[in-house]
Amino acid sequence: MLIQPAGFGHPYRQRGGRAAKIRRAAPAPGAPACSAAPPLPAWGVMSALVDGVQAGPERAPPGGMPARPLIVTGAVAAAWAAATGLAALITLVLIGWIAAPHAAFGSGLPGVFRTAAQLWLVGHHVGFGLRGGGRIGMFPLGLVVLPGALLYRAGRWVVRTGDVARLRHVGYAALALATPYSVLAGALALIGRTSLAVASVWQAVLAGFLLAFVAGGIGGARGLAPWRRLLGLLPQRPRSLVTGTLGTLAVLTAAGAMLAGGSLAVHIGTFRSVTTALAPGLVGGVLLLLLELAFIPNAIVWAVAYLLGPGFAVGYGTVVAPTGNALGALPMFPMLAALPSGAGSGQPAGVPAWVSFAVLATPYLAGAFGGVLIAAVGPTPRVEAAPMWGFACGAAAGLVTGTAAGFAGGPLGGARLAAIGPSGWQIGLVTTLEVGVAAAISAGIANWLAVGRGPIDDAPGAAAVDAAVVADATHSGTGDGHRIYVDPWAEAGDTPDNDP
């Protein structure tokens, strides 16, 4: 009987979703001891993709049929995700083609399919170059939800169907999904070319790969463990940093959503006037509503940029910020009615002074909240380390907000509309400084208060005590050459298995 070495590979994944435990059988009395099988060589990336993440006959499911290679499973999932998203967009374009003049969508049904392919690329934030000059790179971030959700589901399916049972193998599943998906994105970029606009092929391949790898990887990891367990797998310090960053971003996002919604409510009359002037009709009104819903994430990011101070632009030579604004002629889009009005008497920013003060104080409050979370999740006896982790929280938040700001804006052709939205590097830098300083101060104070209440988990003496316990248990031999190891992380209610 061949026994698999303890700690090697992973147990066979049952259909019910739980892994069966493989235990070493005790030899019969008088029988020679069974030697363990030699360890197998490490798998490479290609062998894991082609042969799967398991080796040996354990790969066969209970029905006896061998599991398909992981790269094949990823290709099937990528084709399903791309086809489902494209089918949904084709349906919307067909509705518009029936209700609107056919010339707006090209010549016949091929033009409809080409327009749907372009919208699919827009959902992946792929830029277009105009034949007459200029680029179009500002797209609604809400469209990313459709391919992101489909790839999330596809990642979970790849993990379950491909018999992936360990978190460290989820990267192979995400790679098997992202590689064919990027190829399909590049092919659609070639198909979607027209006489007016040309999609960037390299952007399509890169954006498709990154979106599929991230969304599919998250879905695959979530398919193996709940969110709380995934966060608990991180060490204490990184876990506190992630928790503080998420808390900071949650405060900024909530404040940005309230600011954007409140401004739109104040200017609801202008919003209705612009909608009435467009006269979209019934079908056009529904499509316009869907477009406005897709631009809601952009509006929140713009509002966050306004909170941080640098604000955003709506064309060259314009600025919208808490300290003042300068606007020119605006496109006829109803959501732009939420922009603050021009400078009035005693209101250079177009809003009351107390509103400007409140929005400028919000990033510091968000940073302070993140610093408190860092100290609560991972207190440290080294009081000088807590402010450093707080500033790291600001840097992580700056990276996220800067990236979001870069994707929330972009050019809309040439000339004046070539610069729309916030500046990514400015938003990232300002977030790092404002949030980082506030988080460093609050984390230092909260951690000092926690240390003052008594010893904490990672005190220097705790590691020494654990090491002494393990060393004492190791050297307290039982006389037969065995060693007893004490698990210092075991809970009080845990009991050892009664194995023979």
Identify the residue with better confidence: 117 or 104.
Answer: 117
Is the same domain home to 318 and 423?
yes
CA dihedral 58, 61, 66, 72 (to 10 degrees): -110
Neighbouring CB atoms inside 10 A of 20's CB total 10
Percentage with pLDDT > 90 across the chain:
46
pLDDT of 301 higher than 90: yes
Range scoring the smallest mean pLDDT among 18-32, 182-196, 306-320, 441-455: 18-32
| Average pLDDT of the segment spanning 262-285 | 89
pLDDT score of 328 = 79
Residue 2 falls within a domain, yes or no? no
Residue 123 falls within a domain, yes or no? yes
Residue 198 has φ and ψ, to the nearest 5°, of -125, 120
Is the same domain home to 120 and 188?
yes
| Average pLDDT of the segment spanning 487-496 | 51
Residue 18 falls within a domain, yes or no? no
Q: How many domains does the chain have?
A: 3
Does residue 333 contact residue 210 with C-beta atoms inside 8 Å? no
The tokens 């309230």 sit on which residue? Answer: 258
Domain boundary among 176, 210, 233: 233
Is the same domain home to 113 and 246?
no
In residues, how long is the chain? Answer: 500
Domain boundary among 181, 214, 233: 233
pLDDT score of 460 = 43
Does residue 421 contact residue 405 with C-beta atoms inside 8 Å? yes
pLDDT single digits (tens) 117-158: 999 999 999 999 887 778 888 899 999 999 999 999 999 999
Give CA 374 to chain center in angstroms.
Answer: 21
Neighbouring CB atoms inside 10 A of 231's CB total 15
pLDDT score of 229 = 87
pLDDT score of 46 = 44
Which tokens is 18 given?
């739980």
Is the same domain home to 200 and 246?
no
Is the same domain home to 402 and 436?
yes
Q: How confident is the model at residue 107 (pLDDT cuts 50, 70, 90)?
A: low
Q: Is 130 exposed, middle or buried (0-12, 13-18, 19+ CB in 10 A)?
A: middle
The sign of the torsion formed by the CA atoms of 112, 114, 118, 120 equals positive
Residue 128 has φ and ψ, to the nearest 5°, of -125, 140
Is the same domain home to 470 and 453?
no
pLDDT score of 440 = 96
pLDDT single digits (tens) 19-77: 443 344 444 454 444 444 444 334 344 444 544 554 333 444 444 445 678 999 999 99
Residue 321 falls within a domain, yes or no? yes
pLDDT of 166 higher than 90: no
DSSP 95-114: HHHHHS-GGGG-SHHHHHHH
| Average pLDDT of the segment spanning 256-284 | 90
Residue 143 falls within a domain, yes or no? yes
Q: Is 118 left (phi over 0), alpha (psi -120 to 50) or beta?
A: alpha
Is the same domain home to 81 and 151?
yes
pLDDT score of 130 = 86
Is the same domain home to 201 and 334?
no
Identify the residue with better confidence: 147 or 341.
Answer: 147
Is the same domain home to 227 and 238?
no
Which tokens is 237 given?
């310090």
pLDDT score of 462 = 43
pLDDT score of 281 = 82
Residue 164 falls within a domain, yes or no? yes
Q: How confident is the model at residue 106 (pLDDT cuts 50, 70, 90)?
A: low
Residue 23 falls within a domain, yes or no? no
Give CA 99 to chain center in angstroms.
Answer: 37
Q: Is 6 exposed, middle or buried (0-12, 13-18, 19+ CB in 10 A)?
A: exposed
Domain interval for residue 218: 45-54+66-233
pLDDT score of 450 = 85
Mean pLDDT taken over the chain:
79
CA angle 354–330–302, rounded 5-degree value:
50
Is the same domain home to 297 and 440?
yes
Residue 240 falls within a domain, yes or no? yes
pLDDT score of 197 = 86
Is the same domain home to 240 and 385?
yes
Is the same domain home to 226 and 243?
no
